[in-house]
Amino acid sequence: GAGVSQSPRYKVAKRGQDVALRCDPISGHVSLFWYQQALGQGPEFLTYFQNEAQLDKSGLPSDRFFAERPEGSVSTLKIQRTQQEDSAVYLCASSLVTLAASYNEQFFGPGTRLTVL
Amino acid sequence: RKEVEQDPGPFNVPEGATVAFNCTYSNSASQSFFWYRQDCRKEPKLLMSVYSSGNEDGRFTAQLNRASQYISLLIRDSKLSDSATYLCVVNPMDSSYKLIFGSGTRLLVRP
C-alpha cells in the first residue's frame, strides 16, 4: 500500500518568506508526527497529532512554526518569516498507535528539504 | 550533553567484516529502544527493536545494557548494501510516542 507522502520534496525560500509543507499519512493512521533533521544530525521531534488534536507541540522551535491537521488526515507544517537556521529536512511520520497504547512503529515519509537563502 | 550519543564514524569496513556500533543514553527511565537505518537522502526506517534479553535478526544482533545505559548493534558478514547511517533511538518513559534520535553512525562497506 501507499506509504507516507510529503510535498514538495524540495523548497527554496528567501529569508522572510512563509512556507507550507504538506504530509499525507498512511490511510487509517491515527498518529502523525513532524520531525526536523539538520545536516549530519538525527531527526528531532517537533509536534504530535492524535487524529485532529495536537497533543504535543513541545518541539516547535519558535512561534514562527505552526502545524495543523484539521480533518485528522493530511497535515500542514507552516513556517512564517523563514530564517536561514530553518534550513533542514522536515520529516513526517505516522503510526497506528494512540497515546494510551504502548509504542508502535512510526513510518516516515521522504521528507521536504527546505533551503532558506 | 545529548540524550542519545553515538560515534559518528564513518566506519569503513570490507565486505564480510563484522562491525559493531555503540550508543549511550542519558535518561535511565527510558523504556523502549530501537535501531533505525537511514540511507543517503532517504527517510529513516526501523531496522530492529532492542530488548533487554538481546535479539537477533539474521546478520544483525542488538543488545541493551540498562545498568550501563548502553545499546549496541552488531552486523556480521557485512554487505555492500549495509552502507548507510544507523540511528540509535530511545523512547522516553514519559511518552509512549516520542522518539529521541542519536546523530547516527555512518557505515561504509567497501568491495
pLDDT tens, residue by residue, A10-41: 999 999 999 999 999 999 999 999 999 999 99
| Dist. CA A45–CA A8, nearest whole Å | 20
What number is the average pLDDT over the span B85-91?
95
Tell me, what's the pLDDT at B102? 96
Tell me, what's the pLDDT at B70? 92
Asked whether the beta carbons of B67 and B98 are under 8 A apart, the reply is no
Tell me, what's the pLDDT at B2? 83
Q: Which residue of A has its CA nearest to B101?
A: A42
Nearest-CB residue to B99 (from A45, A56, A111) = A45
Total length of chain B? 111
| Dist. CA A51–CA A7, nearest whole Å | 20
Tell me, what's the pLDDT at A76? 98
Q: Which residues of chain B have a CB within 8 Å of the CB of A56?
A: 95, 97-98
Tell me, what's the pLDDT at B109? 98
Predicted confidence (pLDDT) per residue in A74-117, tens digit: 999 999 999 999 999 999 999 987 655 556 789 999 999 999 99
Q: Would an 8 Å CB–CB cutoff place A45 in contact with chain B?
A: yes
Q: Which residues of chain B have a CB within 8 Å of the CB of A24?
A: none
Query: A91, B32: Cβ pair inside 8 Å?
Result: no
A103 DSSP assignment: P
Chain B residues within 8 Å of chain A (Cβ atoms): 4, 8, 31-32, 42-46, 87, 89, 91, 95-104
Q: Which of A106, A107, A114 to mutate to test the interface with B (most CBs of B within 10 A)?
A: A106
Q: Which residues of chain A have a CB within 8 Å of the CB of B86?
A: none
Predicted confidence (pLDDT) per residue in B5-63, tens digit: 999 999 999 999 999 999 999 988 888 899 999 999 999 999 999 988 889 999 999 99
Q: Would an 8 Å CB–CB cutoff place A99 in contact with chain B?
A: yes
Nearest-CB residue to B97 (from A40, A103, A108) = A103
Residue B77 pLDDT > 90: yes
What rounded mean pLDDT belongs to chain A? 93
Angle at B4 between CA A115 and CA B9, to 5 degrees: 70
Asked whether the beta carbons of B48 and B57 are under 8 A apart, the reply is yes
Q: Which of B71, B70, B69, B105 is nearest to B87 (CA)?
A: B105
